[in-house]
Structure 1
Amino acid sequence: MFPKNTWYVACTPDEIDGKPLGRTICGQKIAFYRGAENKVAAVEDFCPHRGAALSLGYVEHGNLVCGYHGLVMGCDGKVVSMPMQRVAGFPCVKSYPVVERYGFIWVWPGEAELADDSLIPHLEWAVSPEWAYGGGLYHINCDYRLMIDNLMDLTHEAYVHTGSIGQDEIDESPVNTKVEGDHVYTSRYMDNIMAPPFWANALRANGLDDKVPVDRWQISVFSPPSHVLIDVGVAHAGNGGINAPKEHKAAAIVVDFMTPETETSHWYFWGMARNFKPEDAELTKSIREGQGHIFSQDLEVLEAQQRNLQDYPDRRLLMLNIDTGGVQSRRILDRMIKAEQTPAAEPA
Structure 2
Amino acid sequence: MSPNQPSWSTEAWYVACTPDEIDGKPLGRTICAERMVFFRGNDGQAAAVEDFCPHRGAPLSLGFVRDGTLVCGYHGLEVGCDGRARSMPGQMVRNFPPIRAFAVIERYGFIWVWPGDRATADPTALRHQPWAEDPACAYGGGMFHIACDYRLMIDNLMDLTHETYVHASSIGQKEIDEASVATTTTEDEVITKRAMHGIQAPPFYRMVMRGLGLDEDMAVDRWQICRFSLPSSVMIDVGVAPAGHGGIDADPATKIASTVVDFITPETDGSHWYFWGMARYYAVDDPAMTDSIRAGQHKIFSEDLEMLQRQQDNLARYPERRLLKLNIDAGGVRSRMMIDRAISAERRRAASSVETAA
TM range (shorter): over 0.9
1:38 aligned counterpart, secondary structure: coil
Query: Given that residues 143 and 260 in structure 1 are in contact (C-alpha distance below 8 angstroms), is that contact kept between their aligned partners in structure 2?
Result: yes
Could you tell me which of 3, 10, 18 is aligned with 1:12?
A: 18
For residue 207 of structure 1, report the CA deviation from its aligned partner: 3.2
Residue correspondence of structure 1 range 67-216 to structure 2 within 5 A = 67-216=73-222
Deviations 1:46-85 (A, max 9, x none): 0010000001111111111111001110100111111111
Q: Do residues 257 (structure 1) and 263 (structure 2) align?
A: yes
Structure 2 stretches lacking a partner, 5+ long: 1-6
**Count of aligned pairs:** 348
Q: Where in structure 2 are the equivalents of 1:33-48 lying within 5 Å?
A: 33-48=39-54
Q: Which amino acid aligns with 1:118?
A: T
The secondary structure found in structure 2 opposite 1:33 is strand
Q: Which residue of 2 aligns with 1:266?
A: 272
1:211 positional shift? 1.4
1:347 and 1:285 mapped to 2: Cα distance? Answer: 55
* 1:189-237: CA deviation from partner (whole Å, max 9, x where unpaired): 0011111111112223233222111100000000011100000000001
CA distance in 2, matches of 1:341, 1:128: 37
Work out whether residues 84 and 94 of structure 2, in 8 Å CA contact, stay in contact via their aligned partners in 1: no
Match of 1:344 in 2: 352
For 1:278, the equivalent position in structure 2 comes to 284
> What is the TM-score of this pair, normalised by structure 2?
0.95
- Equivalent residue runs for 1:24-63 within 5 Å: 24-63=30-69
For 1:165 and 1:347, the matched residues in 2 are separated by: 54
Alpha-carbon distance in 2 for matches of 1:182, 1:275: 25
Tell me the distance in 1 between the aligned counterparts of 2:21 and 2:98: 25
Deviation sequence 1:261-317 (CA, Å, 0-9, x none): 000000000011101010100000000000000000111100000000001111000
Greater than 4 Å deviation, 4+ residue runs: 345-348
Give how far 1:112 is off: 1.0
- Distance in 1, matches of 2:241 and 2:29, equals 41
Query: Partner of 2:241 in structure 1?
Result: 235
| RMSD between superposed Cα atoms in Å | 1.1
Tell me the distance in 2 between the aligned counterparts of 1:200 and 1:89.
64
**In 2, distance between residues paired with 1:123 and 1:272?**
13
Kindly provide the amino acid, as one letter, of the partner of residue 92 in structure 2: R
2:298 counterpart (292, 296, 304): 292
In 2: Cα distance, 1:281 partner to 1:125 partner: 17
Paired residue for 1:223? Answer: 229
Whole-angstrom distance in 2 between the partners of 1:54 and 1:213 = 56
Alpha-carbon separation, structure 2, partners of 1:296 and 1:117: 33
Letter in 2 for 1:140: I
Scaled by the length of structure 1, the TM-score of the pair is 0.98
Instruction: Give the equivalent residue in structure 1 for 2:4.
Output: none
Q: Could you tell me how far apart the structure 2 residues matched to 1:225 and 1:52 are?
A: 31
Structure 1 gap ranges (5+): none
Deviates more, 1:197-206 or 1:58-67: 197-206
Deviation at 1:176, TM superposition (A): 0.5
Secondary structure of the residue aligned to 1:96 is strand
Over 3 Å counting, the alpha-carbon distance change for 1:193 and 1:293 in structure 2 is same
Q: Secondary structure at the match of 1:248?
A: coil
CA contact 1:206–1:250 (8 Å) conserved in 2? no
The answer as to whether partners of 1:138 and 1:269 remain within 8 angstroms in 2 is yes
Q: Which amino acid aligns with 1:88?
A: R
List per-residue Cα deviations over 1:166-206 (Å, max 9, x = no partner): 00000001111000012100010001111111111222323
AA at the equivalent of 2:315: L
In structure 1, C-alpha distance between the alignment counterparts of 2:123 and 2:356, rounded to whole Å = 28
Does the residue aligned with 2:102 lie in a helix, a strand or coil?
A: coil
Aligned to 1:311: 317
Q: Using the alignment, how far apart are the partners of 1:347 and 1:42 within structure 2?
A: 30
Deviation at 1:347, TM superposition (A): 5.3
Give the counterpart letter for 1:344 in structure 2.
S
Give me the whole-angstrom Cα distance separating, in 1, the residues matched to 2:317 and 2:20: 38
- Distance of 1:205 and 1:227 partners within structure 2: 30
Which secondary structure does the structure 1 equivalent of 2:253 belong to? helix
CA contact (8 A) 1:208 1:248 kept: no
